[in-house]
Structure 1
Amino acid sequence: MERFSRLIILTERQQLHNTTMLAQSVGIKVQQCNNHDFMQLPVKSGVLVGCQFNSHFLTKKGITGELAQLMQRYPVFIFQAERALIDPAMAVHSGLRGLIYRDEQLDRVLTALKTLMAGQLYYSRTVMSDVVDLLINKPRKLNPDVATANAQLTKQEKRIIGLVAEGARNKEIAAILNISAHTVKAHLSAIFRKTQARNRVELLRWLQQSNQIIENQPAVARQA
């Protein structure tokens, strides 16, 4: 799982945005700037970018070229998103790491920021379940490498992949499967090795390629 050490908030506002101040309040190293200035900065590792929702960046039909260019440089999530204007499943497939909606309560925004900085995706469990259902029901031809990794996975590892794809954290997975968090970490290490994924995002991409059949598990409430 790729943890981020620094957060950049992109907004055209000159005064500190509420999201920037919330990040500061929980000790996140954060910098605020506008998109033009940001694009002049050199690319650095360990950086997560929060982009304020703008209809020029994202619509129900997909992401625009400007946002796609930004996503080629850094992992990106959208904050102050408008629920009626964004298809969250499209956002997942586009590679956005999460959506923080304009009407979120402050405690939810704080949870979202911590989750994203920890390297996890931030979407509702319903959205992630729908995405997983679409992936496992869409016919796809496996390439030899993916098929080999698929065959090497144990039944328990396949359960864990399904829960990871739905957005469950390690503690939630441990509770559902009645195992320790340490055991979950051990399973994830084995899963990453077998699938050649470096983090959960790459594991989701592997799942897209593999059309892996995952056993459904009870849902865990995470984001309303």
Structure 2
Amino acid sequence: MIRVLIADDEALMRTGVRLVLEHDDEIRIVAEAQNAGEAVEACRVHTIDVALLDIRMPGDGITAVAEIARHAPRTRAVMLTAFGEEPTVTSALRAGAYGYLLKDTGPRELIDAVRRAAAGDPVLAPQVTRQLVDFRTRMGRTGDAAADRIAGLTPAERDILRLLGTGLSNAEIAAQLHLSSGTVKAHISSILTRTDCTNRVQAAVLAQEAGLLG
């Protein structure tokens, strides 16, 4: 069972997300919150696998992410918001968000994203990935520092990091590269160690900064 928190100051949004997720028998909504403080407290009180958080709710969603990372490190915080600008996305990921989705995400994609986050895969909306790449390209941030961090990777690890940067799951990476999921998992563990990334989302951002996505 995947235990989920929905945090948004709009009651209609919370209801809509609940109705979508309740179509999956393996997902259970254990708490709702209408501000950052309530979201953090819910993660302290309940065992929550995935917390879906709005950015602009009272108390600030990014602040909630950082507090959840401190007090409930097993909870994977995923932003679900209408705001996909690069500075906001980067701030959320640096605060500890495990993923970033936009509110126009379809029902099936939302359910899949919750399942992937619970399984340990990062979830980045395709639009968000493109914006990060475009911004870093315009600002000249796809270069030296990031390139240095991936310099020691093997060709196979670079291929996996590139696909990870596009938001693919382990199974999808394995299918594209004709590898087993176990092999992909082992490579990703090595990539995180070699690049000094603490999680897959940071590795995905590094892939973008290093220019692996073109």
Relative to the length of structure 1, the TM-score reads 0.66
- State the Cα distance separating 1:157 from its structure 2 match: 0.9
Conserved 8 A contact 2:4-2:51 = yes
The residue that corresponds to 2:201 in the other structure is: 201
Conserved 8 A contact 1:11-1:32 = no
Q: Determine if the alignment matches structure 1 residue 69 to structure 2 residue 71.
A: no
The residue that corresponds to 1:155 in the other structure is: 155
The residue that corresponds to 1:23 in the other structure is: 21
The residue that corresponds to 2:89 in the other structure is: 92
- State the Cα distance separating 1:129 from its structure 2 match: 4.1
Q: Determine if the alignment matches structure 1 residue 49 to structure 2 residue 51.
A: yes
Q: Kindly report which structure 2 residues correspond to 1:59-208, keeping only aligned pairs within 5 A, or say none.
A: 66-74=60-68, 75-79=76-80, 81-82=81-82, 86-94=83-91, 95=93, 96=97, 97-102=99-104, 104-132=105-133, 134-135=135-136, 137-138=140-141, 142=145, 147=148, 150-204=150-204, 206-207=206-207
Conserved 8 A contact 2:166-2:204 = no
- The 2-side partners of 1:52 and 1:126 are apart by 17
User: CA offsets, 1:76-99, max 9 Å, x none?
Assistant: 3344x44xxx23544432225222
- The 1-side partners of 2:106 and 2:164 are apart by 25
Relative to the length of structure 2, the TM-score reads 0.68
- State the Cα distance separating 1:49 from its structure 2 match: 1.8
| 2:50 partner letter | L
- State the Cα distance separating 1:69 from its structure 2 match: 1.7
- State the Cα distance separating 1:154 from its structure 2 match: 0.8
- State the Cα distance separating 1:205 from its structure 2 match: 5.2
- State the Cα distance separating 1:11 from its structure 2 match: 3.8
Which protein is bigger by CA-based radius of gyration? 1
Give me the CA root mean square deviation: 3.6
- The 2-side partners of 1:135 and 1:32 are apart by 37
Higher relative contact order (CA 8 A, sep 6+): 1
| 1:26 partner letter | D
Aligned length: 194
- The 1-side partners of 2:213 and 2:103 are apart by 30
- Residue 7 of structure 2 is aligned with which of 10, 28, 49? 10
- State the Cα distance separating 1:194 from its structure 2 match: 1.5
Residues 1:182 and 1:119: Cα distance change in structure 2 (over 3 Å) = closer
Where 2:51 maps in the other structure, the secondary structure is: strand
- The 1-side partners of 2:106 and 2:127 are apart by 19
| 2:121 partner letter | Q
The residue that corresponds to 1:219 in the other structure is: none
- The 2-side partners of 1:31 and 1:120 are apart by 21
Conserved 8 A contact 1:88-1:99 = no
- The 1-side partners of 2:79 and 2:162 are apart by 25
Residues 1:38 and 1:17: Cα distance change in structure 2 (over 3 Å) = same
User: CA offsets, 1:72-122, max 9 Å, x none?
Assistant: 12353344x44xxx23544432225222424x4432322222223223333
Residues 1:42 and 1:48: Cα distance change in structure 2 (over 3 Å) = closer
The residue that corresponds to 2:71 in the other structure is: none
- State the Cα distance separating 1:153 from its structure 2 match: 0.7
Where 2:123 maps in the other structure, the secondary structure is: coil
Residues 1:46 and 1:150: Cα distance change in structure 2 (over 3 Å) = farther
Conserved 8 A contact 1:48-1:117 = yes
Identity among equivalent positions (%) equals 21
- State the Cα distance separating 1:70 from its structure 2 match: 1.0
Q: Which has the higher helix share?
A: 2
